[in-house]
Amino acid sequence: MSDAAKEAFDALKETVGRVTVDDPKMQAQNVDVFYGDKQAIYDVTLDVAKNEVVAMIGPSGCGKSTFLRCLNRMNDTIPSCKVTGDITLEGESLYSKDMDPVLLRARVGMVFQKPNPFAKSIYDNVAYGPKIHGLANNRAELDDIVESSLQRAGLFDEVKDRLTAPGTSLSGGQQQRLCIARTIAVSPEVILMDEPCSALDPIATARIEELIDELRENYAIAIVTHSMQQAARVSQRTAYFHLGKLVEVGETKRIFTNPSHELTENYITGRFG
C-alpha cells in the first residue's frame, strides 16, 4: 500500500456514500466479525434493497465474502467465527434466538463460487430444497416447481429432455444455472452469490449476468465478485471493501466513473493500493 493510500485507509472512520436505502430487505448495522482473535470485518453498515443487485468488490481478503456469508449465517459452522452488531431480514434479527438458521437459509439462498450440483439428477437437484422444506404437497406440484425454477434460471429448454441425467453431466455454466435454479426453487427472498462466475467462461458468464438482471425483478440480490466489470454490469449499487472495512458505497454508475475515495479509485482503476 502506498503511503498516501495507507494514510487514507487509517483515516477512514466511516463509509463514504450512503449505506442505507429507502426500502431495505436486509440491513446490516455495525457488523464486526472475528475469527478467533483476528478481526475480519470492522463496523460494516450496509443495506440490501429490494429488487436491486448490490455488488461487493474489493481485493482478496477484504472481508466481502465473510460479510456475504454472515447474511445467511453460513459462518455458523466455523466455531471460531463470532459476529457482533445487528443484521436484520425484514426487521427480524438474524442472530437472535428466535431465528432458526435452517429457516433463514430457506429465505436467504446462496449460490457459490464453484458450481456444486449434488450427485443427483438434474430434477432431484432442483427438487431437493422444496422436498426437505415440504413445499410441494404432491408430485405434480413438485414437477411444477422444478419446471418453473429451471425456466426462470433459463435452463429448462436445454435440459427438459434429460431431467434424469446427472447434474454434473452439464457444462460449467449450465451447472451454475442449475445451482441458481436449485436456489430459487425454495422461493427465497434474498439471493446471495459468492463469485458465481469465477469458474465460468465469458459466454456462460454473460448468461448468468443476464439471469441475475432478470432475477432482480423478484429478489434482492447481493453478489460478491472479483470482476469489477461484472460488478459494473450487473449491479445497481456497489460496495467497496478494503481490509475488512467498507470503504465506499454508491450507485454503480457513479462508483465506476467517479468514485469518491482514493482507495476505491485505486482499486477499480488497477493502481497500487
CB of 255 to another protein, least distance (A): 8
If phi over 0 gives left and psi between -120 and 50 gives alpha, with beta otherwise, what is residue 6?
alpha
Q: In terms of CB distance, is 88 or 183 closer to another protein?
A: 183
- Taking the C-alpha atoms of residue 9 and residue 18, their distance in angstroms, rounded to an integer, is 18
Q: Please provide residue 96's backbone torsions phi and psi, each rounded to the nearest 5 degrees.
A: -80, 170
Supply 215's cell numbers: 432475477
> For residues 63 and 188, which CB has a smaller minimum distance to another protein in the complex?
188
CB of 96 to another protein, least distance (A): 18
- Please state the closest distance from residue 36 (CB atom) to another protein, in A: 12
End-to-end alpha carbon distance in the chain: 5
Nearer to another protein, 184 or 204 (CB): 184
- Smallest gap from Cβ 102 to another protein, in A, equals 5
Q: Which CB, 36 or 93, lies closer to another protein?
A: 36
What's the closest the beta carbon of residue 93 comes to another protein, in angstroms? Answer: 18
Rank residues 50 and 254 by Cβ distance to another protein and give the closer one: 254
Please state, in angstroms and as integers, the Cα–Cα distance from residue 187 to each residue in 105, 118, 182, following that order. Answer: 11, 19, 10
Distance CA 206, CA 204 (A): 5
Q: Which residues of 176-198 are buried (b: 16+ CB within 10 A; e: fewer)?
A: bbbbbbbbbbbbbbbbbbbbbbe
Query: Min. distance of Cβ 30 from another protein in angstroms?
Result: 19
Residues that bind another protein (CB under 8 A): 2, 16-18, 72, 74, 77, 79, 102-106, 109-112, 114, 116-119, 128-129, 132-133, 166-169, 179, 182-183, 186, 228-229, 232, 249-251, 254, 256-262, 264-266, 268-272
How far does CA 132 lie from the centroid of its chain?
23
Which residue, 216 or 262, has its beta carbon nearer to another protein?
262
